[in-house]
Each structure stands twice: as structure tokens, then as C-alpha cells.
Structure 1
Amino acid sequence: MYESKMSFFNSDVPEIVLKSLFSKYDKDGSGSLNSEELKTMAQNDLGMNKNQAEAFIMLGDKDGNQRISFQEFYEWIKSGERFSMIDDSSRFFLVRKAIELFKKFDKDGSGVLEKAEMDEVLMSFGAKREHLDAHLKAIDKGGDGTVSFSEFLDYLNWLPRQ
């Protein structure tokens, strides 16, 4: 797999090393990486395949804006979660299934589920129409009226907490 490259990224890696890696791919100097920049980094420097890179992007983008700020990247690398969702084959299988489900309902490809899209998810899971707003409020931890992949994954509750 890509174990040798991944072992470099542990919770003790200095921030300056992560900043240097991040800056290498921040071609436009925006302070965040778009999905193409992230995919290139994941595949070239982290040794991930296409599916692993997609999961890396979806898991790292906590606010669903299809970009990862250095802070999001730094916090994810430093967290206990790091690469376990990608490196553990059973967890990765569930993450891939969650990504497929998320993309199925993200009709406009915005990277977040808007209210109508999330209502469709909830109704497909058997929620009653009169409870949709309450469900969305509980799922939408950011309170912005949309559901990011991170919030969606938490809602599915398919993966045990580490």
C-alpha cells in the first residue's frame, strides 16, 4: 500500500513540515487547497490511489466548501483519526460507501447537501415529512442549513469512534 509514506505523518510531525508540504501544492497562494491540488498531494506525496485520495479530501473538508484550509489539514493530520479511515480496509470500505451515497444525493455537485437534498436522504431512510426540519437541525452541526460530508458521515454512524 503506501505505509512507508504515511508513517512520516504522525502526531509528532512539526507544523513547519506540514506547512511546507501544504504550500508546495497551494499553487495560487490562496491558503487553501482545492480538490485538484489535494488529489495531487495525496497521490504524489502521500502515496494514495484515486479512491483513497477522494476519501482523504472528503474527510478533511470539514465545512464542505470543496477546499481544505491549512488549519483543517493540520488538525486532521494531528488528530487521532489521521489516516485510519483510509488505511484500515474495513473502515475504508464504509467510507467509500458513504461517499457514494453522499454523491448520489448531492445532485448539484456542490459538495454539501442542501435542505431539499437532505430531505430526500431522510425520507429514503424512512423519516416522516413533518420531522425533516428537526432532523436537519440535529445533523447540521455548523448551523448553515447544509450538511457537509463530515456531518453526513457522523449522521450515518457507520464507523465506531476511535
Structure 2
Amino acid sequence: MRFALDIGRRQELPGLQVRDDEELDDVRSILADVCAALSEVGAVDFVASGFGQARWPVDVGTDLPVFLEQLPEALDALDAGREFTLDFYEQGLERTLRFQPVAGGYRVRCESHTAWKPAPEVEVIESRGLRTMLVDVRSRFMEVLAAAAPQVAAHAWVRAWAGEA
């Protein structure tokens, strides 16, 4: 199993407008806006793989913000040694990863909600490696965001999401 954010060319996003109406929006709105803008300019590539599929059909505009919004809870659960899920619920992908702690790591079950079937259905990953992989995606996203739209990277909601507040 692998999740990564591959950074291509550095690209500024000077016209990026984010929604941050405290009554209507939260960090998910910002993540979605940023990912849509990054997708338009082709600045990054979101990579997910595992369970018998070398490369999942994920994209930056749709699947990356869904993944990113779940990172804080996933990392909190990982640090506490608790079960957690990562849900790739967007149409076409529709998979749920269920993480169950085992000695020194996590047993991960992939449930498909489409015709695609994982083979194998279960993979085991070391806790440290899993944490490194998830933190790396978050760090690389923040690195891209700081270069592309520093005003957005400095937003209080984004800093709290990234664990910096």
C-alpha cells in the first residue's frame, strides 16, 4: 500500500480564491479549492496503490481533498494505536480502508464498493512506515501550498489542519 504526493513543477496560484465563510465553510472547503486549482495547472500528482492494483484511479481535483480531510483523524488514531478508516467514497473509486492495530503495525482491509476486487484483501504495514507515509503527504501538500499560495498556507484553518496551530 502506498500513498504519495509527487510534486512536479512549482506553480504559483495567484488567482486562487478560497471560501472561508465561518458559517458555511471549514478547512474542507479550502482543501477542495486548493486541490481544484492544483489539478488545473497539473502541479502535483496524487498516487495511491496497493491491494493488487499498482496504481489506483485517483486524481488531484476529486480524490486528494477527500484523502486530505481525513488525515488529522487518521494520524490521531495512529498515534493512539486506535482503529481508523480512510474512505475513498468518490464515484468510480469507492473503496474503504479499515486499519486495525496489530503488534507493531496495522492490518489494513480494503473493501471495494464497485466491481473491482482487492487481491489481496488485507495488507499489513508497520506503524512507523504508515505514519511516515501519511505525514509525508501532508508535508508535501503544505510545501506546494506555501510556494503556490502562501496566504492560503498561512490561513488559521489550514495551519490547524496541518497540526501547526
Q: Flag the structure with higher strand content.
A: 2
Q: TM-score, normalised by structure 2?
A: 0.28
Q: Flag the structure with higher helix content.
A: 1
